[in-house]
Amino acid sequence: MTIPRPEYPRPLLQRLNWLNLNGEWRFDTDPKNTGLVQKWYQHHDYQATIQVPFTMNASASGASHLTPCDVVWYAREFELPTHWHESQLLLHLGACDHRTQVYVNGELAGAHTGGYAPFHFDIKHLVKPGTNTVTLRVTDSPTWTQPRGKQAGTTRWPIDYDPIIGPWQTIWLEPVNTLHASSLWTTYSVADQLLKLNVKLSELACGSLQLALVRDGIIVARLESDFIDRPEVRLELTVEQPALWSPATPTLYDLQLTLKDSAGNIIDRCDSYTGLRQISVKDRTLYLNDSPLYLRGILDQGYFPEGWYTAVDDRDLKRDVELTLAMGFNCARKHQKAEDPRYLYWADRLGLLVWAEMPSGRIFSTELIETLSAEWTQLVQRDRGHPSVITWVPFNESWGVWHQAKRPEQQAFVDAITSLTQALDPSRPVVGNDGWEFSSGDLWTLHLYETATESIAERLAELLRDPSSEVGGGRVGALPGRDVSQLPVLLTECGGIGFTQATAEDHFAYGDLPLDKVALKQRFEAIASEIHQADSLSGFVWTQLTDVQQEINGVLFFDRTPKLAIDDIKTIMRGIGPNS
C-alpha cells in the first residue's frame, strides 16, 4: 500500500532509522464527547477510516463525507521493529490542530496544545515487542482566543476559510539514545566568514560534538568540541572561499553531526544542511550578504485543492516554490499559516526567500497570550535553521490586539513577543505587527490597496511625512512616539485584484473585478507602476498566490492555473523597483 507523504518530514535533522505512520487510521467523530468516559483509548469500534496526514474536510482524507465535529478520535497499530524497544522511542506529530491527547496501548503518553508546531513524546515505557496501538483524541473549538489564522471560527470574515481539526503533517516514530541532538540551527557572518552552529541537546550532559561541513560530497571543514554539563552546544567554524546562499545562487552545504558521550562512544548521528547567508538592516535598507535587497514578494496562504491544509504530494510544495520564482517573485510571505517544513526545504534548495508568520487569534485573552507565546517559541526554534527564512512576523494587522493603541497590556504583549523573537534569533529582522500600528521591530511594513481617490505613491509619501497618519480603516502607520525614521519601509500587502471565470456574487477581492484578461493585465500594470514610483520602498508583497474558496484575488486559480501568462506576470513584477 502506498504511504501518503512518504518523505522524511524533518529536513534539518535527519536520521536513518524512522517509521512513517501516515496512511489509513481508524477514525470516528465524538459529537457527544463521551469517548473519554467510555475509554475509547482502550477499546472502541470505529465507524470510519481516514488517510493521515489529511484532515477530515480534505477530499484526500477519504472522510470528507462525515459531519464536522469538534472532538475526533484516531487509532492504528504498528509493529515495533526489532531492537527498537531497547532505545528511547519518540512518537512525533508534525502538526495537529488543536488540542491533542496521545495514548499508546491504552495509556496516556502526553498532551499538547496548538495547531502548528511539532511535538513528540517518549513512549518507550508504553510499547512492547510486536504489535502496538496508538490512539489520538483531538479537540478543537471555534473560539478566536486561540491562534487559528484564517480558519473560520465563531464568525467568518470574507477572508476566512473552512477550518481544520486533527493531524495535518506526518506522524512518525524514531528510536534515539537518551542523549541526542533535538534541534540545530546556524548563523553566518559574511565579513568574518564565520559559521556558528547551535545544537540543542535532549538533556544536560557531558560529551563531544563533531561537525563536518560538506559541499558537493567533499568535506571542506571539520571541527570537534567537548562540552561539560551543557543543554546546548555552540561551535564556530571559519569557512574558506565560501559559496554564499542567495536566490540567484542557492548553494547549500551539508552538515554531518556526530555526538559522543563522555567515554567517547558514538550515541547519535544526524544529517542537516545550511546556507551561508546574512540578513541585516542598515540605513533604512534591507541587505542580503551585505548587498541591498529589494523584495518582490507574494502572499501565500498555503492551501491545496485535495489536501486543503496539506499538500497531497511533496512535489506540490516544490511546484508552488517553482511557480513563485517563475513569476518573477523572490519571496513568499506565508500568511497566517506555519507551513510544512518540506516547503521550507524546497525554498532553501531552489532559492526562495520566506517570511514566516504566526497564525493569529482575534480576541485578546489570557489563553491567547499563553498559547501564542508557547507555540511561536516552538515555531521559531523549528524554522530558524532554514536559510530561506529571512523575517519573523508574530502579529498581522493587530489581529488579537485590536486595541493596542489604547490598552497598554496589548501593546506590551506585542513588544514582548517581538523582543522574545529577537532573543531566540538575533540574526533576522522581526516585524512586530505587520500592516500598520507599528510598535516595535526592525522593519516598517504597510498594507495599502488601491483606492479611487489617491495613488499608492501619494499615500506612502503622506505616511513617510507623518507615520501616525492613517493607513486605512482608522489604523495609523505607527503608534504615537514610535520612531520608524531609520527603518526600511515595505509594502507587504498590495494588489489583491480579483478575477474569476465563474459567477462572482459571493466572492471577495479588492476593488472592482476586471471583465476579461486584457483588463486584468492592465490593472496589474497600473498598480505595479504605482508601486514602482514609490522609490522609498525596500520591497512589496502582492496579494496573493492562488484563489482560496471565496477569495478570487490570486495570480493563479486554486488549481495553480495562471490567470495571465507566466512570462507576462514575471515581466510586470520584475519591472517594479531598482534594476527594473
Domain final position from 176, 202, 223: 176
In a domain, 234, yes or no: yes
Q: What is the DSSP string of 192-207?
A: TTEEEEEEEEEEEEEE
pLDDT higher than 80, residue 323: yes
In a domain, 10, yes or no: no
In a domain, 155, yes or no: yes
In a domain, 4, yes or no: no
Residues 135-163 pLDDT 10s: 999 999 999 999 999 999 998 899 999 99
Q: What pLDDT was estimated at residue 313?
A: 98
449 and 557 assigned to the same domain: yes
Q: What global pTM score does this model have?
A: 0.97
For residue 196, what are the β-bridge partners? 187, 236
CATH number at residue 63: 2.60.120.260
Parallel, antiparallel or unpaired: strands 194-215 and 181-189: antiparallel
- Residue 157's domain comprises 19-176
In a domain, 134, yes or no: yes
Q: What pLDDT was estimated at residue 501?
A: 81
CATH number at residue 265: 2.60.40.10
Structural domains in the chain (count): 3
Q: What pLDDT was estimated at residue 580?
A: 59
In a domain, 388, yes or no: yes
251 and 299 assigned to the same domain: no
470 and 556 assigned to the same domain: yes
- Rounded to whole angstroms, the Cα distance separating 12 from 95 reads 16
47 and 101 assigned to the same domain: yes
Give the pLDDT mean for 106-119.
98
In a domain, 8, yes or no: no
82 and 52 assigned to the same domain: yes
Confidence grade of residue 504 (pLDDT, cut at 50, 70, 90): low
Q: What pLDDT was estimated at residue 451?
A: 79
Convert 247-299 into a string of H (helix), E (strand) and C (coil). CCCECCEEEEEEEEECCCCEEEEEEEEECCCCEEEECCEEEECCEECCEEEEE
Write down the residue that cell numbers 508601486 correspond to. Answer: 531
In a domain, 283, yes or no: no
Note whether 35 and 44 are within 8 A (CB). Answer: yes
Round to the nearest angstrom and report the end-to-end CA distance of the chain: 51
pLDDT higher than 90, residue 505: no
Q: Is the peptide bond before 125 cis (omega within 30 degrees of 0)?
A: no
297 and 330 assigned to the same domain: yes
Domain final position from 219, 240, 274: 274
Q: Which of 97-101, 500-504, 558-562 has the lowest mean pLDDT?
A: 500-504
Q: Above pLDDT 70, what percent of the chain?
A: 99
Domain final position from 161, 176, 191: 176
84 and 172 assigned to the same domain: yes
Q: What pLDDT was estimated at residue 87?
A: 79
pLDDT higher than 90, residue 498: yes
Of residues 580 and 425, more confidence is placed in 425
For residue 207, what are the β-bridge partners? 227, 261
- Rounded to whole angstroms, the Cα distance separating 269 from 85 reads 19
Q: What pLDDT was estimated at residue 534?
A: 92
41 and 145 assigned to the same domain: yes
CATH number at residue 314: 3.20.20.80
Phi/psi at 257 (nearest 5 deg)?
Answer: -110, 135
409 and 444 assigned to the same domain: yes
The alpha-carbon radius of gyration of the chain (Å, integer) is 24
Per-residue exposure over 62-78, b if at least 16 CB sit within 10 Å of its own CB, e if not: bbbebeebbbbbbbbeb
318 and 423 assigned to the same domain: yes
Q: What pLDDT was estimated at residue 473?
A: 86
Q: Which of 248-262, 419-433, 452-466 has the lowest mean pLDDT?
A: 452-466
Q: Which of 12-16, 129-133, 154-158, 268-272 has the lowest mean pLDDT?
A: 154-158
Q: Is the peptide bond before 408 cis (omega within 30 degrees of 0)?
A: no
- Rounded to whole angstroms, the Cα distance separating 99 from 275 reads 35
Q: Is the peptide bond before 210 cis (omega within 30 degrees of 0)?
A: no
Beta strand extents in 105-165 (DSSP E only): 107-113, 119-122, 130-139
153 and 193 assigned to the same domain: no
Give the pLDDT mean for 81-99.
93
113 and 240 assigned to the same domain: no
